Amino acid sequence: MKLRYDKEDDVLMVWFSKEPIDYAEQATDVIMHFSKKNKPVLMEILDASKFLKETSRILPAQIRQQVNLS
Protein backbone atom coordinates (compact mmCIF):
# COMPACT_ATOMS: atom_id res chain seq x y z
CA MET A 1 0.00 0.00 0.00
CA LYS A 2 1.24 3.48 -0.87
CA LEU A 3 -0.03 6.78 0.56
CA ARG A 4 0.33 10.29 -0.82
CA TYR A 5 -1.19 13.55 0.36
CA ASP A 6 -1.52 16.41 -2.12
CA LYS A 7 -1.68 19.54 0.04
CA GLU A 8 -2.50 21.88 -2.85
CA ASP A 9 -5.62 19.91 -3.85
CA ASP A 10 -6.29 18.56 -0.32
CA VAL A 11 -6.53 14.97 -1.58
CA LEU A 12 -5.26 11.82 0.10
CA MET A 13 -4.47 9.01 -2.33
CA VAL A 14 -4.15 5.40 -1.18
CA TRP A 15 -2.89 2.82 -3.69
CA PHE A 16 -3.82 -0.79 -3.02
CA SER A 17 -2.36 -2.21 -6.22
CA LYS A 18 -0.33 -1.33 -9.31
CA GLU A 19 -2.97 -2.78 -11.64
CA PRO A 20 -4.29 -0.51 -14.40
CA ILE A 21 -7.42 1.45 -13.52
CA ASP A 22 -10.49 0.56 -15.56
CA TYR A 23 -13.20 2.66 -13.92
CA ALA A 24 -14.02 4.75 -10.85
CA GLU A 25 -17.01 5.33 -8.59
CA GLN A 26 -17.59 8.32 -6.33
CA ALA A 27 -19.52 8.40 -3.06
CA THR A 28 -19.50 11.81 -1.35
CA ASP A 29 -15.83 12.71 -0.75
CA VAL A 30 -14.34 9.35 -1.77
CA ILE A 31 -13.46 8.22 -5.28
CA MET A 32 -12.63 4.53 -5.60
CA HIS A 33 -10.77 3.32 -8.70
CA PHE A 34 -11.06 -0.33 -9.78
CA SER A 35 -9.32 -2.73 -12.15
CA LYS A 36 -11.11 -4.66 -14.90
CA LYS A 37 -11.50 -7.50 -12.39
CA ASN A 38 -13.29 -5.13 -9.97
CA LYS A 39 -10.38 -5.05 -7.53
CA PRO A 40 -9.68 -1.75 -5.72
CA VAL A 41 -6.60 -0.03 -7.12
CA LEU A 42 -6.72 3.54 -5.80
CA MET A 43 -8.82 5.45 -3.29
CA GLU A 44 -8.91 9.25 -3.38
CA ILE A 45 -10.23 11.11 -0.35
CA LEU A 46 -11.33 14.63 -1.24
CA ASP A 47 -11.26 17.36 1.42
CA ALA A 48 -8.68 15.15 3.07
CA SER A 49 -7.64 17.62 5.79
CA LYS A 50 -11.10 17.32 7.35
CA PHE A 51 -10.99 13.52 7.08
CA LEU A 52 -7.42 13.40 8.44
CA LYS A 53 -8.27 15.51 11.46
CA GLU A 54 -11.13 13.15 12.30
CA THR A 55 -8.99 10.03 11.90
CA SER A 56 -5.50 11.30 12.79
CA ARG A 57 -4.97 8.77 15.59
CA ILE A 58 -4.61 5.88 13.12
CA LEU A 59 -2.57 7.58 10.37
CA PRO A 60 1.21 7.29 9.86
CA ALA A 61 3.25 10.15 11.37
CA GLN A 62 4.43 11.24 7.90
CA ILE A 63 0.87 11.99 6.78
CA ARG A 64 -0.03 13.71 10.08
CA GLN A 65 3.01 16.00 9.73
CA GLN A 66 2.14 16.95 6.13
CA VAL A 67 -1.25 18.21 7.28
CA ASN A 68 -0.02 19.61 10.58
CA LEU A 69 -1.90 17.08 12.71
CA SER A 70 1.02 16.02 14.93
**Per-residue pLDDT tens digits for 12-55:** 999 999 999 999 999 989 999 999 999 999 999 999 988 877 77
Question: DSSP alpha helices (H): ranges in the chain?
Answer: 48-55, 61-66
pLDDT at 70: 47
Residue 30 CB contacts under 8 Å (≥ 6 apart), including other chains = 43, 44, 45, 46
- pLDDT over 70 at 67, yes or no: no
Q: Identity (one letter) of the amino acid at 61?
A: A
pLDDT at 52: 74
Domain edges within the chain:
2-66
The answer to whether 21 and 35 have CB atoms below 8 angstroms apart is yes
